[in-house]
Every structure is written in structure tokens, then in C-alpha cells.
Chains A and B, each alone.
Chain A
Amino acid sequence: MAIVKKYPAEVVSVINSIEGVYTVEFRSLAKPFRYEPGQFLHLALDAFDPAEQWPESRCFSMQTSPDDDLIRITYAIKGNFTKQMETTLKPGKEITLKMPYGDLFTQQHNKSNSIFIAGGTGITPFLSLFTHSSFALYDKPILYAGFRNQQMNLYAKELSKAKEINAGFKWQMVYEDADGRLNIQDVLDQCGTESTFFISGPPTMIKTFKMFLLQAGVRQNNVLTDDWE
């Protein structure tokens, strides 16, 4: 876990590929962003007054490699805050980001037999690793990602880059409208209990999958989750 800092930043681009899902890019207006793959930021929409408390904010995973100049996040509209993001975050808008948070990939973990399980936009912290040079250190990593439909999979470019960094990288996409939901039993059957599992996605999915893996005999420290209360 690094020391948290505040970065004045500007919205560079907003892409709305599908209804209700936005990808936003930020550039720092001061020092370069510093973070590790898999970490997340706090985004506040209200102006930050240094003499006052940090305003209401929400957490978003960086989906960019820490080597990139820009930070990219993807969010789906789920409540008032993200609705406000939809109307507020336009190119040129200046905001304050507070980061980095989280220790998903900075904590001790086994880099062989790594299984990445993502639900929806939960794939974003993984993309930060997949597109970073450190991903080359992982032995035969596999991604299992579930989306509501194929349109929701906006990450072909990042996965292609990941393949360039780690030729042994494989992935399996599950589209709910065609294949049903991502099935943790299937994942376990394919990978075995000796793998290291990284899970990111909706809280219920993380909780259910984690409990299933532990009950199936996977060691506690081999199940790493990207979940927030």
C-alpha cells in the first residue's frame, strides 16, 4: 500500500459505447499519477477545498497500466452518484482524484496457476495488471469473465495487449444472454484447488464464489478478492 495523494486532474475523454456504461480518461494536472496494478482511486465530483473535509466520493479501479500517462476507469450507472457522474464528467472538467488504494496485486501471492475471475466491470483492476510489464511474470494465467452480453465486453484492445505481454495468457468469456452465468464450479473443475484465484465483480458474486472455493478446499490465502464494503 503506497502513500495516498491527491491529484488535480482533468477529464480527457468520455466514451459511452453502450447504454449506461461509461469509460472516462483523466490526465493529471500536476505530478504524474503513481499507483500499482490493481489499485483504485477515490473520485469526488464536488470541488475539493483543502481547508475542508474530503467531499463525498466513490471508488473506481484504474484499468490502465501504471506506465500510462492517463488513467482510465469504467463505470456503470447504478445509483445517484454514478448518475451525477454521467452529467458532470465531460471533457475538460477538472476534478480531484485521491489515490492509490488497495493491495490486490501488491500483497504476497503465487504467480503460477493464476486464475482471474471477473464479473462485468469487475474486469478493470485485472486490465491494469494485464497491460503492465509485470504480467509477464505470471505463469499460464487464465481469465474467466462474465458479461451480460457480448456488447458489454469492451476490453478486446487491452486483452490483445495482455497477450503480447504474456503469450501464455488465455481467457474464456461467458455471455449471460447466450451461455448463462459464470459458473464457479466449471472454473474450479478446469483449474483445480491448487490455483490462486483473483475475484472481482459484484459483491454478491465475490462473496458467493469465495465461499464456494474455500468450501471446496482452496486455501484462504489463495483466494484474493477486490471487494469494497
Chain B
Amino acid sequence: MTDHKALRKEIIEKTKEYYQARFANQVFTPGKSRVNYAGRVFDENELTNAVEASLDFWLTEGRFSEQFAEKIAKYLEVEHVLLTNSGSSANLLAFSALTSEKLGDKRLKPGDEVISVAAGFPATVTPILQYGLIPVFVDVDMETYNIDVEMMRKALTPKTRCIFIAHTLGNPFNIDAVMELANEHDLWVIEDNCDSFGSRYKGKYTGTFGHLSTISFYPAHHITTGEGGAIITNDPVLANLVRAFRDWGRDCYCAGGENNTCGKRFSQSFGQLPFGYDHKYVYSEIGYNLKMTDIQAAIGAAQMDKLDRFGERRKENFKSWYSIFEKYPDTFSLPKATEGADPSWFAFIVTINENAGFTRDEFTHHLNANLIETRNLFAGNMTKQPAFVGKDWRIADNLNNTDIIMNNTFFLGTYPGLKPEMFAYAANMIDEFMTSIK
């Protein structure tokens, strides 16, 4: 019989060979290859980790999940990292945790107001509506594309209980102002850090300021596990609530394959169940099943080793786009990092000025026709999305800038897979367009 360890070693070596043959040395051909806005960047380590996890065939959360979560915790210097199956699930779970009756009077209840923005991704807002709370949309500023902190202050009412906003495209919002308001009024803060993993604000990583924060590992993000996400907190009570909501709402915290680690499995009272009802099947929250698999986590564990390098490349790529667009100051409004921030840019965001002589769509159609991918700032103005029309939300004062973003703004990628020759090609295509409109 063949030794399984020897076979495993052989498989891993072949996987490395496969990586070299299949994925290494990708060549960019101007006009034929795409300049994507995002993409997965990996080497043989992600592939071999994924194969290792497949050969373990543990499948659910296992050794790689622990390793991945530990790496994130160490990187961010936080206590609790809970892995989940997407950034959107992370947002849902972070918000769900705050609705738990275990939080007593502090819990979020239907009818409470939550401050957010409409110029963003719906997954930041949908949990608010799903739990019957009222999103209060505050406008953003046109330099950082983050919440306007003066308008945020004015949006506050006695019903306000939480602030749930994203660091837009890697650019931290004014965390000092948000946390000050939250502390003054005893508000929960959820940082949607899905687009900003590795960004810093005044020397500290984003995602470490709020009561809870979230990360996305979708391939467009700073690191990837395919689908995947994480919830971050330093609060053990919130961590346990997130875990419960993630794992069917169950009270028991035994990991997969474990039983009775608390030693009280059959000797407790819960709800109206008979005394001693099996704790493994006691549900204290209305939960979900949103766990990550060990194969995903294995990829994430390898990606974590590249996060700093990826972040540096994103910053370099941001500068490359900036130098291309700054030649046309009357035409394009370019982004600005929030004061005190060191963004790990998710993207390079651009707004076409009103007097540019062409529309956002004319410009982005030109770029996309030449295989340079662009994206709008996600939902544009969320209040105008079909799913949100007629729903119970409130606009704080006005969303004038959000409307400008909906009509005139787009972004280009900064992902680490971009190469100098891609920027050279894109610069030519942009110059070509600008010459054509004169």
C-alpha cells in the first residue's frame, strides 16, 4: 500500500509545478489583455494550502481557520476574529449581534435609527432594514467620499442608536469625529472595513476603533478566500454573540467534532426546555449558518502573508493613476486621503466635473471599450435603488453630493495585479480620449 504521507508530498510538489505552468508569467498585451479593476493575486502558497486543506478533508472550520483567524488577530492586534462566508455576512452578523436580548437596554430594536450613507455598497445598509431599524442617510464629502461629519452631527435624534458606515474604497472616514459622537451619545459603532483591510488612521489599523468591524475576502478585496469575510471585536460578549448568530443561533460553543467542553451539556436550564436538555441543541438567538470552510481559510492564511506587500502595491498604483489624471485638473476631481489617514486604497475614484464637456458614461464606455475596466461607486445613491424605494429610511437634510456621485463618479482598480505597462497603456487611452473631445 502506498504511504499517504509520501503521496501527499508528491501532490504538493505537483501543485507547485502546476502553479508555475498555469498561472506564473502572465503576459500583458496592450489592447488584447484586460486591465481589470480587481482580481485575485496569488502564488503557489495559496494553491498548496488549498490542496493541503482538501487532503485533510476536514471541510468545516479547522486548523487553517484557526491559523487564518490568528494571523488576522495578530496583524490588527485585536482579541477576537470570527470568520464567515462573506463580507456581507460579516456585516449582517455584526449588526445581528447588537440586536441580541442579552445586551439588555443596549440592544438595537426595531424603530431605532442607524446613521449610514447612501453612497456605498448595499450590504452596509441591508441588515438595518432587515432588522426593522431605520437607516438615516447622511451625505458624503467630494474629496474623501466619506460621511460628512457636520451633517452626521445634525442627523442625530433621540432615536439614534448606532453608526454603521464603511471606510470608502480604503479611505478611512473621520474616525475621531465618529467615535467622539458615539461616545457622547452612547452609540454603537460598526466599521465596515470590507474595502479597507490594512488602512490606517493616525497610526492604528481601521477596523480596530468601533465596537465591531468587518472584512471582506471577495476576490476584489485586499486579500481573498474566494467568498469570505470576518468580524472583528475586542469585546468577548459581542464575540460570543457573533459566534452564536453565525452558528445557527446556538448557545453551545463547542467547535465542530467537539462535545461537552463546558462540562454542563446535560445539566442546565434554558427557556422552557426540560432541565438537562442537550445544550448542543439549545438555541439562544435566531441565527444563521454562515461559517467559512477550512479550504477557504487555507487560502486566506497564505494571503495574509502578502497583505502588507499588497497594500504597498495598492498605494503605488493609486499614485500611478493620480499622475495620469492630474494632467486634467479642470476635467477630473481626484480623491484625497482623509486627514491623518494612510489608506490602503481599494480603488482610484474619479468624478467628472460638470463642465468637462462629456459625461461619466461617455468616458467609462471609452475605457471599457479599450478593455480598461471601471466601476461606479457601487449603488450610487442607494435611496434610488429599486430595492430601497418606498422602504422605511430617512435622509438627513440632503444627498446632493451622493447624487453627483451617482451621475458623475467612477473608479479604477488599484489591485496589486496591475503592472506598469498597463498604466502606460491606460494613460495612452485616456490621453486619446481627451484629445478627441477637444
Contacts and interface: CB of A to CB of B under 8 A. Distances in A.
Contacts of B74: 31
B202 interface: no
B214 to A, nearest CB: 16
A36 B237 CA distance: 12
Interface in A85-124: 98, 101-102
Given A1-B253, A54-B258, A229-B260, A6 B66 contact: yes
Contacts of B261: 4, 42, 98, 101
B267 A50 contact: no
Interface stretch (B56-64, B122-130, B305-313, B406-414): B56-64
Contact of A2 (B236, B263, B265): B236
B266 interface: yes
Given A227-B264, A227-B267, A229-B263, A50 B66 contact: yes
A18 interface: no
Interface string A30-59: 010010100010100000001101100001
A3 B257 contact: no
A229 B264 contact: yes
Contacts of B70: 31
Contacts of A102: 262
B82 interface: yes
Of listed B62, B262, B267, residue having the most chain A CB within 10 A? B262
Interface residues of A, number: 21
Contacts, number: 56
Of listed B62, B240, B263, B266, residue having the most chain A CB within 10 A? B263
B212 interface: no
A3 B80 contact: yes
Nearest to A99: B261
B243 interface: yes
B63 A50 contact: yes
B79 A34 contact: yes
A7 to B, nearest CB: 11
A206 to B, nearest CB: 10
B257 A1 contact: no
A3 to B, nearest CB: 5
A57 B181 CA distance: 48
Given A31-B74, A53-B257, A54-B258, A3 B263 contact: no
B27 interface: no
Nearest to B269: A220
B38 to A, nearest CB: 31
Nearest to A228: B263
Given A42-B261, A50-B66, A101-B261, A3 B267 contact: no
Contacts of B253: 1, 3-4
B80 to A, nearest CB: 5
Interface of B: 56, 58, 62-63, 66-67, 70, 73-74, 79-80, 82, 236, 239-240, 243, 253, 255, 257-258, 260-267
7 contacts: A1-B253, A3-B82, A3-B240, A3-B243, A6-B66, A40-B263, A101-B261
Closest A-B pairs by Cβ, 9 of them? A228-B263, A50-B63, A2-B236, A3-B239, A3-B80, A1-B240, A51-B56, A51-B63, A229-B263
Given A3-B239, A3-B240, A50-B62, 16 more contacts: A2-B239, A2-B240, A4-B253, A6-B66, A40-B263, A51-B56, A51-B58, A53-B257, A54-B255, A101-B261, A227-B263, A227-B264, A228-B263, A229-B264, A229-B265, A229-B267
